[in-house]
Chain A
Amino acid sequence: MNNQTSREVLLEVKDLSQYFRISRDKVLKAVDHVNFKIHRGETVGLVGESGCGKSTTGRTILKLYTPNTGNVYYRGKDVFTFTADEDMQYRKQAQMIFQNPHSSLNPRMTVKDIVGAGMKIHNLAKSKELDGRIEALLRKVGLNKDHMSRFPQEFSGGQKQRIGIARALSVVPEFIVCDEPISALDVSIQAQVLNMLKKSQQDLGLTYLFIAHDLSVVKYISDRVIVMYLGTIVEEAVSEDLYRNPLHPYTQVLLSSIPIADPEQVRRKKRRIVSGEVASPITPPAICRFVSRCPLADQVCREQMPPLREVEPGHNVACFKV
């Protein structure tokens, strides 16, 4: 853990907010003043229920949205003040794997064009070498050269997702945002894709921001886990720490909801069930976001927003009651 904190910070998100205006006086705060760091070579899991801002965070990091406040620093430089050259460099170094394999590949392009597009944009291969490079990439993700002239709709979901991975790897990136890369896949295929991601990380020394809502998947792949709730970070810790000793009441609820395959264990386990509704992310008041469902909530929680503070070394929690 110590050597992890001393490692080079690859990406830093500082005070990032992403708001979407819904009507004249209504603002949806998808991401609200979020801070975190990602070190080179590690996998950071970003979890939370749907609509909590995980995907928006990932997309803003890759400059698909312009944030309302805050900055994203890549190797110490603000990505939103990049020059055109630096921007192209960033596009080569930071990639994304998308959630829905059926909509993330252009149905009018062949696999060869899809995988080769990045290499053409960044001039990574001469036109003669291009075919060979594409073939090698496809082989890496378990496909072969017969698939090059095929169209995306001829593939299964798992195959499509692997094509998406090949596209992301085509520009030899060092940082990949995996936006729920396996949640749209069949369970039997999930392991296959997950292992492929893990293997690529080992082979190429990649850094991942792994967005998911499936906690057992995140546990399997992540070094560190960030838990988000309604646009804010509620807990952040090293993976083992978080799963063994969850401190935030939301994280505790989240962890107790993981289904267990063993009925004996299920009977022994106490399941925590939350009551109440998820608060609305539309113009939320500056109080604890979890207050409507929290069993520990009292007056302080209804008056102030709990700051993210270090409770144990490397373990940050945003809760007054911990």
Chain B
Amino acid sequence: MATNKIESQDKAITADLFRTVGKSIEEMEAISRPSLTFWQEAWLRIRKDKAAFIGLIILIIYTILAIFAPMFSSYEFDQQDAYAMRQTFSAEHWFGTDSLGRDLWVRIWVGARVSLSIGFIAAFINSVIGTILGGFSGYIGGKFDMILMRIIDIIYGIPALIVNILVMVVLGPGIKSLIIAMVITGWAGSCRFTRGEVYRLKEQEFVLASRVLGESTFMIIVREIIPNLMGLIITNLAMAIPAAIFREAFLSYIGLGIAPPNASWGVLAKEGAAMIRLCPHMLYVPAFFICTTVLAFNLLSNGLRDAFDPRMRGTD
């Protein structure tokens, strides 16, 4: 071999002296990983995240119970029974009864309907308003952006709770006024957050590439920006819902939310707190559901944040 090398030194080196060792070019270009869409991959990762999956299951169970439990119970949520007041857990009344003899199992799930739907609706409206305004503000910039951001600064400057309470006092109790009160202050957070995200995205090279190709501004927002925001919007929504549930519970607790005999978890907790010496279960039961729901949402949103994070791709 050694002599061979020396001999060939003065010869010209031609292409036919070389051959490809190992993988061919075809093989090098092949991709072995199965193709997954963004949503498939996120779902896979949520399923692997135990805490998030447990959170999701708890929420599904609560939602199903909120829808069906009152239908299949022999009691009405406002049905009073003078002979069965302030009872604890029994086969008759699973969660006991309150001081008017109303069945707490039914009241909890009727209350869940109110609490969960207010949480969902308020967070959803906040998210929609915030995303649209924030999207425009971030993409267009300029004066519109400046004015909107100052308005948000003002909203942030006043404690949201005070605004909520004032609005509730003016509008009176009820689901509608609760949602309005929460939306008035709530959109600012998601607006500011979306704006920042759009601001970052619009300078990305793939958006510039689209502009160079002559894509219209509307199509760029629809095709390039929004799909890249979806993960964050959903994560944000999942974080905003427990906050809204909590806020509703608080307002109802201080007597500004839902008016009796209607129930929400906050109302039930308030009624229970008044009776804490005699029958503490009346407070503990709604408090347990508020806590577990908020916890479940937080676990889920944590998992969602990781599942949608592109940096976490392939690290499972």
Interface residues of A (CB under 8 A from B): 59, 62, 64, 87-88, 91-92, 94-96, 98-100, 103-109, 117-118, 121-122, 142-144, 146-147, 149-151, 153-155, 159, 164, 167, 171
By Cβ-Cβ distance, the 5 closest A-B pairs, closest first, are A91-B214, A104-B205, A108-B227, A98-B205, A106-B206
How far does the alpha carbon of A23 sit from the alpha carbon of B33 in the complex, in Å? 49
**Complex contacts, B37 vs chain A, CB 8 Å:** 151
Report the count of interface residues on B (CB-CB < 8 A). Answer: 25
CB distance from A171 to the nearest CB of B (A): 7
How far does the alpha carbon of A118 sit from the alpha carbon of B214 in the complex, in Å? 8
21 A–B pairs (Cβ distance < 8 Å), ordered by A: A62-B212, A64-B212, A91-B213, A96-B208, A96-B209, A98-B209, A104-B205, A108-B38, A109-B227, A117-B210, A117-B213, A117-B215, A118-B214, A142-B29, A146-B31, A147-B31, A150-B31, A151-B35, A154-B35, A164-B209, A167-B213
How far does the alpha carbon of A94 sit from the alpha carbon of B212 in the complex, in Å? 8
CB distance from B20 to the nearest CB of A (A): 15
**Complex contacts, A143 vs chain B, CB 8 Å:** 29
**Complex contacts, B197 vs chain A, CB 8 Å:** none
How far does the alpha carbon of A87 sit from the alpha carbon of B216 in the complex, in Å? 12
Q: In this complex, what residue of A is CB-closest to B209? A: A104
Instruction: Flag whether B48 is at the interface (Cβ < 8 A).
Output: no
Instruction: Flag whether B204 is at the interface (Cβ < 8 A).
Output: yes
Q: In this complex, what residue of B is CB-closest to A90? A: B214
> Once the chains bind, are B206 and A104 in contact (CB under 8 Å)?
yes
CB distance from B224 to the nearest CB of A (A): 6
Interface residues of B (CB under 8 A from A): 25, 29-31, 33, 35, 37-38, 204-206, 208-215, 223-224, 227-228, 310, 313
**Complex contacts, A164 vs chain B, CB 8 Å:** 209
How far does the alpha carbon of A117 sit from the alpha carbon of B215 in the complex, in Å? 9
> Once the chains bind, are A106 and B214 in contact (CB under 8 Å)?
no
**Complex contacts, A64 vs chain B, CB 8 Å:** 208, 211-212
CB distance from A38 to the nearest CB of B (A): 17
CB distance from A310 to the nearest CB of B (A): 33
Q: In this complex, what residue of A is CB-closest to B212? A: A96
How far does the alpha carbon of A67 sit from the alpha carbon of B109 in the complex, in Å? 63
Q: In this complex, what residue of A is CB-closest to B33? A: A154
How far does the alpha carbon of A142 sit from the alpha carbon of B28 in the complex, in Å? 11
> Once the chains bind, are B215 and A59 in contact (CB under 8 Å)?
no
CB distance from B135 to the nearest CB of A (A): 16
How far does the alpha carbon of A66 sit from the alpha carbon of B86 in the complex, in Å? 74
> Once the chains bind, are B29 and A159 in contact (CB under 8 Å)?
yes
Q: In this complex, what residue of A is CB-closest to B229? A: A108
How far does the alpha carbon of A142 sit from the alpha carbon of B30 in the complex, in Å? 11
How far does the alpha carbon of A62 sit from the alpha carbon of B205 in the complex, in Å? 13
> Once the chains bind, are A106 and B224 in contact (CB under 8 Å)?
yes
CB distance from A150 to the nearest CB of B (A): 5
CB distance from A102 to the nearest CB of B (A): 9
Q: In this complex, what residue of B is CB-closest to A92? A: B214
> Once the chains bind, are B213 and A171 in contact (CB under 8 Å)?
yes
The 8 Å CB contact of B206, one of A59, A103, A151, is A103
The 8 Å CB contact of B313, one of A118, A153, A171, is A153
Additional A-B contact list (11), CB under 8 Å, known A64-B211, A118-B214, A154-B35? A95-B212, A96-B209, A96-B212, A98-B208, A103-B204, A106-B206, A107-B38, A121-B215, A153-B313, A154-B33, A159-B29
> Once the chains bind, are B212 and A107 in contact (CB under 8 Å)?
no
> Once the chains bind, are B205 and A91 in contact (CB under 8 Å)?
no
CB distance from A59 to the nearest CB of B (A): 7
How far does the alpha carbon of A109 sit from the alpha carbon of B227 in the complex, in Å? 9
CB distance from A191 to the nearest CB of B (A): 14
**Complex contacts, A107 vs chain B, CB 8 Å:** 38, 228, 310
> Once the chains bind, are B214 and A87 in contact (CB under 8 Å)?
yes
> Once the chains bind, are A154 and B31 in contact (CB under 8 Å)?
yes
How far does the alpha carbon of A108 sit from the alpha carbon of B30 in the complex, in Å? 21
**Complex contacts, A167 vs chain B, CB 8 Å:** 209, 213
How far does the alpha carbon of A285 sit from the alpha carbon of B29 in the complex, in Å? 52
Q: In this complex, what residue of A is CB-closest to B216? A: A121
> Once the chains bind, are B213 and A118 in contact (CB under 8 Å)?
yes
How far does the alpha carbon of A136 sit from the alpha carbon of B246 in the complex, in Å? 57
CB distance from A109 to the nearest CB of B (A): 7
**Complex contacts, A92 vs chain B, CB 8 Å:** 214
How far does the alpha carbon of A96 sit from the alpha carbon of B212 in the complex, in Å? 7
**Complex contacts, A96 vs chain B, CB 8 Å:** 208-209, 212
**Complex contacts, B206 vs chain A, CB 8 Å:** 103-106
**Complex contacts, B38 vs chain A, CB 8 Å:** 107-108, 151
How far does the alpha carbon of A268 sit from the alpha carbon of B120 in the complex, in Å? 75
Q: In this complex, what residue of B is CB-closest to A153? A: B313
CB distance from B177 to the nearest CB of A (A): 39
CB distance from B15 to the nearest CB of A (A): 15
> Once the chains bind, are B205 and A99 in contact (CB under 8 Å)?
yes
Q: In this complex, what residue of B is CB-closest to A171? A: B213
How far does the alpha carbon of A104 sit from the alpha carbon of B210 in the complex, in Å? 10
CB distance from A175 to the nearest CB of B (A): 11
CB distance from A305 to the nearest CB of B (A): 31
> Once the chains bind, are B33 and A153 in contact (CB under 8 Å)?
no
**Complex contacts, A150 vs chain B, CB 8 Å:** 31, 35
